[in-house]
Structure 1
Amino acid sequence: MNETLARRFTGTAGVAAAAALILEVPLYFVYSGAPPDSNILSRLLVGIFSMGFLLVLVTGLREIIKTVHPEYEWAGTLAFAAGLAYTTITLVSHGLEAGDVIATEQPIDPTITVHGTYILYGSISRMLLALFLTALGYAIARTGALPRWTSRSAYVLAAVNIAFVPSLFFGNTPANFYAANGWGTTALMGAVLSYWLLAMGITTLRSARTARAR
């Protein structure tokens, strides 16, 4: 793929993924108690779209890294693999949660563990996202494919995600900040990721001009 086209493609996907996540996260805070089915299904639907755009993003980033510096294609591939695993795990957890909502007539009580989805949303997702961010940060730092701040911020965000991996030892109450599916582990981290993706998407779009000049 042409480098300019790849950057535009990737940047657009990043902005779209960020927009979907920014729309999704507030839906977790609308109700203080058990949310109605409509709220759960709405946020899951938005989340499904966000993961689709994220999958396009990680694919495009690998293409950019391979084009700019083929020697570090392995790092781009590692980032792609981790990003793919993250989106898959998130989509699986979305599917499990949606299936439980559809199968019952009563809203799901968020204090009840449902088929271990809190582990998928929490520790597993945090680990995979940290791996993706670390590999991406390294690839960007070594290739200069994007501005330096993108690499440094990826490392910082990776460290924050790692810090939430042990949250599975602290229960599964969404109202708690540091819990397997607590609002810090899931909703807050989703919000941070969304704005980072927005900045990354805009930066990647702008970098298409430089690529075209080369």
Structure 2
Amino acid sequence: MTDAQIRRLTGWAGVGMVVFSLAQFPLYLMQDPSLGIYDGAAGSKEALRLRQVIFTRVLLDLLLYVAGMVFAAGLSQLIRTANATYGWAASLVMASIGVWLGVTLVANGLEGGLALDAQAPVPDPSVNRALTMGYLLIYNSSIAFVITALFIGAAGYGAAATGVLPPWTRWLAYGAVLLCMAAVPSMYGGPAEPRGFYNAAGWGPVLIANFPPVIWIVSASVLLLRRPTSVVQAASAGSGYGKGKR
């Protein structure tokens, strides 16, 4: 594939990531916010009511992961092609997306297990509670946020340093990294009852750490789709990034 084709494919994959990610938020709003995290019996009833919604969220996540792998692979290739000196950054992009998708796949399995157990003739409340506690730190708190920060930071640095993306996108990525890291300590708040804003079960960390990376991915995708390869090559040669001066 040519660089232009890779840029288009990577850009559309980034668009897919954003679409599949944002499509899940309305589905999470369908849950009853009054249910307690520790109430396994009520949680099983809610999982039974929302079982199709839960499976749809898992499916959207799987589609997001496919798009994410294509986006990371394309961006890594573009970084290496622009300047082999930054091959380590490209490798870090691929490694971090692999870990990110790996841990969130575990969370998908746990969440899907909620719906499967809820359909049993006699659901086990302890199963619901255990699976819920198992995926909270991955979905809503520290684990995913740390890996997301690493991915966005490596991608933002490597793409800007080699001229694949404009220099200002580096600072947008760094801002997303800082907000992701700001959400990491939320795990110390525990799954508070009732659910608060800044804890492992609250909406605060989700809003703080999810939307800034989405903004960077949207910006990167639009630029990859609209920015001609000739402009990228000129930017890389003229900025000094492509010559390893920074």
TM tier, smaller: 0.7 to 0.9
Counterparts of 1:18-97 in structure 2, within 5 Å, are 18-33=18-33, 35=46, 36-97=50-111
**Which residue of 166, 172, 176 corresponds with 1:157?**
176
Q: Calculate percent identity across the aligned residue pairs.
A: 31
Task: State the one-letter code of the partner of 1:99.
Answer: G
Q: Answer whether contact 1:25 1:187 (CA < 8 A) is retained.
A: no
**Which residue of 144, 156, 159 corresponds with 1:137?**
156
2:41 equivalent in structure 1: none
Superposed CA RMSD: 2.7
Q: Answer whether contact 1:19 1:194 (CA < 8 A) is retained.
A: no
Distance 1:212 1:153, change over 3 A: closer
Distance 1:181 1:113 in 2: 14
For structure 1, which runs of at least 5 residues remain unmatched after alignment? none
For structure 2, which runs of at least 5 residues remain unmatched after alignment? 36-45, 235-246
Which stretch shifts more, 9-18 or 37-46?
A: 37-46
How big is each residue's C-alpha offset from its partner over 1:97-147, in whole Å with a ceiling of 9 and x where there is no partner?
1022212236x99x9452521122221110111111121222123212111
Q: Answer whether contact 2:164 2:232 (CA < 8 A) is retained.
A: no
Which stretch shifts more, 142-151 or 152-161?
A: 142-151
Distance 1:46 1:82, change over 3 A: same
From the CA coordinates, give the structure whose radius of gyration is larger: 2
**1:208 CA displacement:** 4.2
Distance 2:218 2:95 in 1: 21
How big is each residue's C-alpha offset from its partner over 1:142-190, in whole Å with a ceiling of 9 and x where there is no partner?
2121112221111100111011111111112594221124222236633
| TM-score of the pair, normalised by structure 1 | 0.87
Distance 1:177 1:158 in 2: 20
